[in-house]
Structure 1
Amino acid sequence: MKPSVFIDGEAGTTGLQIRARLAGRTDVELVSVDPARRKDDAERRRLLNAVDVAVLCLPDEAAREAAGMVENPATRILDASSAHRVTEGWTYGLPELTATQEGEIAEARRVSVPGCYATGMVALTRPLVDAGLLGPDHPLSVQGASGYSGGGRQLVDVMEGRGGEHRLAGPYRAYALELAHKHEPEMQRYGGLSGRPLFTPSVGAWRQGMLVQIPLFTRTLPGRPTGADLHAALSAHYAGRRFVRVVPMEGAPTVLDPEALADTNDMELFVYENAELGHALLVARLDNLGKGASGQAVQDLDLMLGLSDPTRDYGVPREAAGV
């Protein structure tokens, strides 16, 4: 019997792309709520408790409410919101975090999909902290730039001519200038830091794809590592990983297109260095809806269901995504 999956919030950006990535799969049964009963809490509760895995693609408060509706001990939850990323009892859904993380996700009853910015930041910092090249108490600055699909369905509609107004609509916007972005707690915990990084995100007028950048003064790091040392630590950590590639320093592009990995579940990591000045720059490039959301969610789902396939790329044709 095929495992059953219910996507609560399948009409949103992340939900649509998860569904698109599962379209055509014959090894899972997708269960949907009758459109006429989409706002019927009793029907949602019934479905949440009737499936093997409930995938939550909801705003944070609604995700907490939905998780509270699950009373069936056999139903497992995969939450794509930020509601449970640092909540006790929930497993962080970044399979490449540590050597044991895939196994922990496979066994978990409750899994929280990482945030898009946090995926890039944690992927860059955690291996360096674990290798002793970046101190946990190092004051870290993180900059991110994402395509507008990261702003959800409302911003997508506005940017593509189907809506009226949105505070982030435009060619480029810096936001979260209160310096308290909701991704910061997971960045701190899973990035291996003892304090919050200073994180400044922005959104641009492209649809999908993002860059996450972390500048470093190498003279302030333990042992004053070179760029090659940082690159070697990242390469060792991600050796053999399908979806994370550490790009060689030699010949690395000096101009990066944030859209290059759109519609994939891939992530590229770069290390740049000006050795004379003691400057280094770490960069992660990924699709904010792929490895930063829906692609990673389906990667986690397959681990939870024991359906991982070494030939599956977790990509999605853009025309099939429905957003």
Structure 2
Amino acid sequence: MKYKIFVDGQHGTTGLKIHEMLENREEIELLSIKEEEKKDINKRKELLNSADLVFLCLPDAASIESVSLITNDKVKVIDASTAHRTNPTWTYGVPELTSNNREKIKNSTRVCVPGCHASGLIIAMKPLIVNKLLANSQKLICHSITGFSGGGKTMIEDYENGKFEDIGGQRPYALSLNHKHLPEMKYILELDEAPIFTPSVGNFKQGMLVMSYLAKKDFQKEISRKEILELYKNYYKDETFINIIEDNETYLDAGLLNPMKCNNTNSLEISVYENDTDLVIISRLDNLGKGASGAAVQCMNLMLGIDETKGLKTVKN
């Protein structure tokens, strides 16, 4: 049996990556739409309703429109936009999130893939909140740096064709402190307030670091880095795509943390650093892997009853 898969928005960065990941899989039949037909609503409606599973790699409004065009109740949907990430009728696409979220994804017909920045923060912070080490009232502070591929075609062209002197190195953005991933961060972590979050784009194509800053006095009990690592190892035990880094010295390259080491995999690595009073917890992932297309394919595998890891690579430690 072949599963019919349609990527609505297949010409964007995430859609192209999903196509690339699925095009040689023997159990998948990719339904495609020509560039000149992508605004033909009737053609899109036909494809949306003839697929077993649809990926939506579109702006929010277009994703909502596509869902409204689906009249076949057997069609499963994975949305990569921000449109449905705080909608309680949709399942959040992190199988590792809680003990029952993998089963929810398996049994769901509507799954939303997390934002890349949100994935890094949520996967790092969820165990601390679930185990009541951090209160829901905690005001989280987070910064990230990501490759320019996350900015889409225009940004990719700017970086690949521009001069370093004009573009520069690391550039923070969303400095209104109202980034589009904040609502899902607050919602999924069940926080009283959204985090303070500043993202930045670096002069490299893909890969990312998501860095969360915590004062030890903010924890609900006295805890050490070693105890936090043990908690993470227990929470994410047997998880193929979540790696907990214990030996920071071998993890760093000459004392530096390379954001690109998880590229072209679906892995997310968590490392913890401390001094006497504070901690920084860092998630490293591929913004196009566990941060986007890889996460979407992982959810697809679960929803179709396929081996969850099929077609996905992990970091070899």
Question: What band does the TM-score fall into relative to the shorter chain?
Answer: over 0.9
* Paired residues of 1:273 and 1:280 also in contact (CA < 8 A): yes
Look up the match of 1:228: 226
* Paired residues of 1:216 and 1:280 also in contact (CA < 8 A): yes
Q: Percent identity?
A: 39
Distance in 2, Cα, partners of 1:313 & 1:69: 30
Look up the match of 1:2: 2
CA offset at residue 250 of structure 1?
A: 5.4
Distance in 1, Cα, partners of 2:92 & 2:167: 31
Counterpart code for 1:139: K
Structure 1 residues 286 and 310, CA, compared in 2 at 3 Å: closer, same or farther?
Answer: closer
CA offset at residue 135 of structure 1?
A: 1.2
String of CA shifts for 1:133-165, please: whole Å, max 9, x gaps: 11111111010100001111211122112x89x
SS in 2 for 1:134: coil
Look up the match of 1:196: 194
* Paired residues of 2:207 and 2:284 also in contact (CA < 8 A): yes
Look up the match of 1:177: 175
Matches within 5 A, 1:1-323: 1-161=1-161, 169-249=167-247, 251=249, 252-253=251-252, 254-274=255-275, 277-310=276-309, 312-314=311-313
Q: CA RMSD in A?
A: 1.7
* Paired residues of 1:155 and 1:169 also in contact (CA < 8 A): no
Structure 1 residues 220 and 309, CA, compared in 2 at 3 Å: closer, same or farther?
Answer: closer
Counterpart code for 2:107: E
SS in 1 for 2:50: coil
Structure 2 portions without partners, runs of 5+: none
Counterpart code for 1:269: I
Distance in 2, Cα, partners of 1:149 & 1:97: 26
Structure 1 residues 151 and 185, CA, compared in 2 at 3 Å: closer, same or farther?
Answer: same
CA offset at residue 172 of structure 1?
A: 2.2
SS in 2 for 1:160: helix
Distance in 2, Cα, partners of 1:94 & 1:210: 18
What is the TM-score normalised by the length of structure 2? 0.93
* Paired residues of 1:299 and 1:314 also in contact (CA < 8 A): no
* Paired residues of 1:133 and 1:230 also in contact (CA < 8 A): no
* Paired residues of 2:302 and 2:308 also in contact (CA < 8 A): no
SS in 1 for 2:239: coil
Distance in 1, Cα, partners of 2:70 & 2:305: 22
* Paired residues of 2:145 and 2:170 also in contact (CA < 8 A): no
* Paired residues of 2:298 and 2:308 also in contact (CA < 8 A): no
Counterpart code for 1:12: G
Distance in 1, Cα, partners of 2:130 & 2:121: 14
String of CA shifts for 1:268-298, please: whole Å, max 9, x gaps: 0001111xx3111100000000000001100
SS in 1 for 2:185: helix
Structure 1 portions without partners, runs of 5+: 316-323
CA offset at residue 8 of structure 1?
A: 0.4
* Paired residues of 1:95 and 1:105 also in contact (CA < 8 A): yes
What is the TM-score normalised by the length of structure 1? 0.92
